[in-house]
Chains A and B, each alone.
Chain A
Amino acid sequence: MLLVITLTAAAIWIFPLYWAFVTSIRDESHVVSSDAGLLPDMLNLTAYSDALFNSNLLTWYVNSIGTSIIITVTVLITGMMCAYALSQMRFPGRRALYAVVLASFMIPTQALVVTQFVLMNDLGLVNTWAGIILPQLIVPVVIIVYKQFFDAVPKEMREAVLLDGGGEYTLLFKVYLPLNWGITTALAIITFIMAWNQFFWPFLVTTSENMMTIPVGITQVRDTFGVNYARVMAVALLGAAPVAIAYLIFQKKVTEAVMISSGVKG
């Protein structure tokens, strides 16, 4: 009985995505006709080819993939370096820095967009990748998670490397990082998904269609073509496809990353 209720709820939950898909493979005239049923009854890929070849979708893909990868790599590298120093080294200002990292969790970045935009304008970075990327490079949770994992590495390993004459960089990249590949991939996947899905900031900092990312660009399609539901749904699904596929492949990792980064599971 419970199983039936759960499965019904799951079916309702997935229905909007199912319906978007059914719409996207129909002919536009069939989409709005009254005899169109709930089941997929056509396989018409015009909407997809239109979306791919008669819009800027491919440009937006390049922008999204490029900026998301740069954000992910930069966030992880700067985050692990900072976390390593916080976890393994003693220097003046360490406690203050950790307090800042914890506090920056609470800073609502959305409230900063006005002055971030002014800054990017002053630096001449409006409508550039750098402008899209820069404000997204602060992800304090990456530092906090890395610090937790670095804290847990046995001290003996550290001392052994130091005795052999290895430095801190050797320790970080040859010992601490390889020991934590698991959490690194998990963090990389969720950072990438977060960057890919970012809407508000890229929407503000890109005004030229050629510089837009997927989430911003696909809102333009409706304006350009008028309402063509099959095409709108095809574009939406194509825009969501990379992260959806990444999730389905790395489902376990994503689940783990979400749980760890919210502190429910350590």
Chain B
Amino acid sequence: MITNRRKHIVVAMTLIAPFVFIFALVFLYPTLKMVELSFTNAPLIGSGEWVGLDNYRRLFNDNLFYTSLKNNGYFVLLTVVPTTVIALAIALAVNRLAGSMQALVLAVFFLPYILPVSVVTQIWAWMLDFQFGILQPLIEWVTGKPVAVFNHPSWVMPAVASITIWWTNGFNVLLFIAGLRNISPDLYEAAALDGASRRQLFMKITWPLLWPVTALVLTLQLILQLKLFDQVYLLSGGGPFNSSYVLLMMVYREAFQLNHGGYASAVAVILFVLIMIVSVLQFQLLRIGGRK
């Protein structure tokens, strides 16, 4: 019996070993190393000296850090709530369609989500090209002149945000549709028999029952958009005048372009902690919302 129990445990250990090993190698070790590195003045490759809290002190006096933080916040404002509202509207509309029409329209809204980010940015760079972009006549019609969107401090973030919404919105639409399908049709029938209006149906049934999904979408988006890098790097490189410079951009530039491994790690630690805090809040929020 004892040997059986031991054998059982050995088998279990071999089953979990590959995951645990890879996890320790590419997640745990880099996390600890990141914290350690953030207290040194090491370059990206090679060792440095222990400098205590110097990197953090410097960081909290670095204007670029505050600019990045502000831009991250601005991007979150521009994307999280708008994409949730747009996705909900699209999901409600798609949900009313039937059969192959529904599948087709859903595919149209979801397709951008499965494109690589660089494909998305290249298509939009062409759409918004200063000289030949198909959208420039539209911009000219509104503002009176063509705009070099990604070279304009006040246009760049809204443009990147819109492109991001176009790209990732399909995912949120799917979640809302799943949420809508989970609502029993009986509820609507019963309410309709009682003479409820369309508006009442939405306010009293759809919206409250959809709230857990809405909370999920909002928090997933919040975390996702805090990790912004790819789109700004490819579209504007963080410019012009740092108007689209974000925290992850700062990590990238300090580490890989300026060779400041230690300082970049300090920025990364701050970003890491920030996202962990938001994630824990999300977890709690969703749990209170009644999910497992």
Binding site for B on A (CB under 8 A): 2-3, 5-7, 9-10, 13-14, 16-17, 19-20, 23, 31-32, 38, 77-79, 81-82, 84-86, 89-92, 94, 97, 100, 104-119, 121, 134-135, 137-138, 143, 167-169, 172, 193, 196-197, 199-200, 204, 214-216, 218-219, 222, 229, 232-233, 235-237, 239-240, 243-244, 247-248, 251, 254-255, 258-259, 262-265
Contacts and interface: CB of A to CB of B under 8 A. Distances in A.
A240 to B, nearest CB: 5
Interface stretch (B72-80, B122-130, B142-150, B186-194): B122-130
Given A14-B108, A108-B276, A119 B118 contact: no
Contacts of B31: 107, 112, 115
Interface in B23-72: 23, 25-27, 29-31, 33-34, 37, 44-45
Please classify how large the interface on chain B is, using the bins under 10, 10 to 19, 20 to 34, 35 or more.
35 or more
A215 B27 contact: no
A121 B46 CA distance: 10
Give the one of A10, A17, A32, A233 with max B CB within 10 A.
A10
B20 to A, nearest CB: 7
B116 A239 contact: yes
B1 interface: no
A91 B230 contact: no
- The B interface is mostly helix, strand or loop, or mixed, namely helix
Given A82-B19, A218-B118, A229 B126 contact: yes
A119 B9 contact: no
Contact of B15 (A6, A16, A89, A254): A89
B3 interface: no
Interface stretch (B152-160, B200-208, B261-269): B261-269
B97 A92 contact: no
A19 B269 CA distance: 42
Contacts of A240: 115-116, 119
A128 B117 CA distance: 22
A194 to B, nearest CB: 9
A262 B216 contact: yes
Contact of A6 (B11, B94, B112, B291): B94
